[in-house]
């Protein structure tokens, strides 16, 4: 079985500040990891994903995430956030043979 824990339900931050959204997973087999973003009143869209290779993954809108196998983490980072980054962010995991399991989401609130 696989699971995802997003430790923070909300992360408030000021514009132009750096941000890290935390994601930890558990799985007994190899994993593939994803971050999706949901803007208000919209469906989800892919930010980035880790399938193999470099553990540092770059995504859209200046976001990046680092896969850390020893700490079973896949934290999402951005060095300087904008108001437009206000959204809910979901971490997700799959073994490849199983369906995608989503975390409960982290609401990023960017204020001026």
Residues that bind another protein (CB under 8 A): 6, 32, 41-46, 49, 51, 90, 94, 96-100, 102-105
Taking the complex as a whole, the smallest distance from the CB of residue 45 to another protein amounts, in Å, to: 7
Taking the complex as a whole, the smallest distance from the CB of residue 27 to another protein amounts, in Å, to: 13
Return the DSSP state at 110: E
Exposure string over 50-77, b if 16+ CB within 10 A, otherwise e: beeeeeebebeeebbbebeeeeebbbbe
Beta carbon nearer to another protein, 17 or 51:
51
Taking the complex as a whole, the smallest distance from the CB of residue 8 to another protein amounts, in Å, to: 13
* CB-CB contact of 17 with 108 (8 Å): no
Taking the complex as a whole, the smallest distance from the CB of residue 15 to another protein amounts, in Å, to: 26
Beta carbon nearer to another protein, 46 or 56:
46
In which residue are the tokens 């290779």 written? 53
User: What is the DSSP track for 7-26?
Assistant: --SEEEEETT--EEE--EEE
Beta carbon nearer to another protein, 97 or 112:
97
């Amino acid at each position: 079985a696989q699971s995802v824990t997003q430790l923070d339900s909300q992360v408030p931050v000021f514009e132009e500040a750096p941000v890290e959204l935390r994601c930890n997973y558990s799985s007994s087999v190899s994993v593939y990891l994803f971050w999706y973003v949901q803007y208000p009143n919209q469906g989800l869209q892919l930010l980035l994903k880790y399938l193999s290779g470099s553990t540092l993954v770059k995504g859209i809108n200046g976001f990046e995430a680092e896969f850390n196998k020893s700490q079973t983490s896949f934290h999402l980072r951005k060095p300087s956030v904008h108001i437009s980054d206000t959204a809910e962010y979901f971490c997700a995991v799959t073994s490849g043979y199983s369906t995608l399991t989503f975390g409960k989401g982290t609401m990023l609130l960017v204020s001026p």
